[in-house]
Structure 1
Amino acid sequence: MSRAQAALLADGRRLHLHDGPIDLIISADGEADDVAGAYRAAERRFAGVLDELCAELPLLRRETEAEPKGAVARRMWAATRPFAAEGFITPMAAVAGAVAEEVLAAMCHAAPLNRAFVNNGGDIAMHLAPGNCYDIGLVSRPDQPGLFATAQLRAGDPVRGIATSGWRGRSFSLGIADAVTVLAARASVADAAATLIANAVDLPGHPAVTRVPARAIQPDNDLGARLVTRSVGPLRPNEIAAALAAGVAFAERLAAAGHIVAAALHLAGDTRMVGQAVGRIDAGRQGEEVSRRGGGNPS
């Protein structure tokens, strides 16, 4: 029996899907029958996702070249494999983005849609038919989701995925970034890249940074004994600049290799932007909808 729960939100437009740790907010625009069909397809595909992932969890938590069997697991594996040479990474670094991608693919296969998004806790997969666009909001701290800027993504832009990582978010981080938001061609790739860039924003050994072994907090996580950030105390301006510079250098390398389109890195109220300009970015405009857990938020 499936544990998955599905319900329309109070606005009557967006669909909420929930199963264990997976929580999706879904929106689609198009003919009413097509939207209804896409939502039914999303519910059907979502129902088995968690069980599929659990069946291969030991493999997904390891650095490995072995390709998993499940569709979502293969998306995770394919998204993280190109980054294997950049540092420690397992397929789990792309899980949220990959789930969003898989559910969105089921929706788009079921019905023609003008536009749609699947938001998995701030990691977002998007569909844009020609002539359509989304306004997205960018946040500087996932735990305090106020927008510092908005950007418009058009159908012709090379972005269909947005993801955010950082020590203040819902996942563990090896670095000290408050948030790193990445725009990429796919949500799973954005998810993996955001994880690595957030790890790179760092001041190794700094006394103001508290770190503990990941397994002391969550014994069965994929990071094991690696030290994850739990708090960051006051930093001097030159230290903030140095940590961000390390992250920028790493993000620029990923952008030059074509892995990401753009990234925004945030630490202690300071921000750095990397990569290709997408649509238009307006630092003074407030978005119409605030993401439930940070990241970008389409409207």
Structure 2
Amino acid sequence: MPEAIEAFVPVTVLAEDLVLVDWGPMTMTISVWDKGRARPVMAAASSRSALACLQMLSDFKEFLKIPVCRLPSGVTLPDVVSRAFTAASKVSKELTSLAAVAGAAADHVADVALGMGADKVIVNNGGDIALRLARGKTAVVGLQKIGAKDLAGRLMVRGGAGIGGVASSGWMGRSYSPGVADLVTVWAGTASIADAAATLIAGKTTAFGMNIEQASAAELDPTSDLGDMKVTIAVRYLSPSQRKTALDQGAAIAAAMYSKGLIHGCFLSVQGDFSLLDPARIVKLES
């Protein structure tokens, strides 16, 4: 029961504009403002929905591992599960709903806070970020290099631009990937779409050679939704042609998604080389 979980989940107000939910697989920060003032009470109240998300995702963990192409449509699902399933279905039928779960939880919590009357909400669920910005409000999201402290750049998001989520993926990230991208960051209308898209693009940013080590996902984690898929566990120095091949493949997938209206933009990086899809010119890269 959700009530039983809540008794064990620490929800900490770190600052007026930052509330932390940290329990089990979830490390989420919630920042809420209204009329220019931080609203920690709204943020703390919306954290209850994050705890409910954990319960729903646990109840549907086997459903979430099934490729969406094998799942029936029209099934009644809890909100966070439905968001993940819908996002994965829109991005690629080869994905499982797990590809969008972190973004879906961030979206759910952000919409709860928005419903309380907030005009600016930022929910960061382990690096997958939901944004709810009224017109005139802005947010800056760092393009964080996976496995490094410095930033690759900054994303300048304005309310009314249609961007409601930013998510990242890469072979060194929290989830397994068959690709060689150090970082793929996607911005889209929702965090769940951005999450699924980043997962797919990172997986398609591939190269081949003895300098890339892979293993079966099932061997690394018998519970993985990727089964026997080969995933990347080490990438040594890649030649310029390998880096270009990988970036070109990932960029082509990103461009196709953009042309379909699924995403607003994408940043891809492979060992210092990068590709940027930024039609609205909202990215400022670090020199």
Q: After TM superposition, is the score higher than 0.5?
A: yes
Q: Aligned-pair distance for 1:249?
A: 0.9
List aligned pairs for 1:52-201, cutoff 5 A. 52-63=56-67, 64-66=70-72, 67=75, 69-85=77-93, 88-110=94-116, 112-139=117-144, 141-201=145-205
- Secondary structure of 2:92's counterpart equals helix
Deviations 1:9-58 (A, max 9, x none): 1x443000022101101111226998244224312212222121111111
Structure 2 residue corresponding to 1:42, chosen from 46, 49, 65: 46
Deviations 1:95-131 (A, max 9, x none): 1100000111111112x22311000111000111121
List aligned pairs for 1:284-295, cutoff 5 A. 284=286
Unaligned runs of 5+ in 1: 286-299
Deviations 1:128-162 (A, max 9, x none): 112111122112x2111311222311112121100
In the alignment, is the contact (CA less than 8 A) between 1:251 and 1:263 conserved in 2? yes
- Amino acid in the other structure paired with 1:221: S
RMSD of equivalent CA atoms: 1.8
- Amino acid in the other structure paired with 1:73: V
Matches of 2:38 and 2:114, distance apart in 1: 10
In the alignment, is the contact (CA less than 8 A) between 2:30 and 2:47 conserved in 1? no
Q: May I ask how many residue pairs the two structures share in their alignment? A: 278
Provide runs of 4+ in structure 1 moved above 6 Å. Answer: none
Deviations 1:196-243 (A, max 9, x none): 000111014x21111111111211110011111000011111111111
In the alignment, is the contact (CA less than 8 A) between 2:151 and 2:286 conserved in 1? no
In the alignment, is the contact (CA less than 8 A) between 1:252 and 1:275 conserved in 2? no
- Secondary structure of 1:50's counterpart equals helix
In the alignment, is the contact (CA less than 8 A) between 2:16 and 2:39 conserved in 1? no
User: What residue is the counterpart of 1:233 in the other structure?
Assistant: 236
Greater relative contact order, per chain length (Cα 8 Å cut-off, separation 6+): 1
User: What residue is the counterpart of 1:288 in the other structure?
Assistant: none
Matches of 2:217 and 2:273, distance apart in 1: 27
In the alignment, is the contact (CA less than 8 A) between 1:262 and 1:274 conserved in 2? yes
User: What residue is the counterpart of 2:284 in the other structure?
Assistant: 282
Q: TM-score, normalised by structure 1?
A: 0.88
Unaligned runs of 5+ in 2: none
Matches of 1:130 and 1:60, distance apart in 2: 35
- Amino acid in the other structure paired with 1:126: L
Task: Decide whether aligned partners of structure 1 residues 12 and 41 sit closer, same or farther in structure 2, where only a CA change above 3 A counts.
Answer: closer
Structure 2 residue corresponding to 1:209, chosen from 212, 226, 230: 212
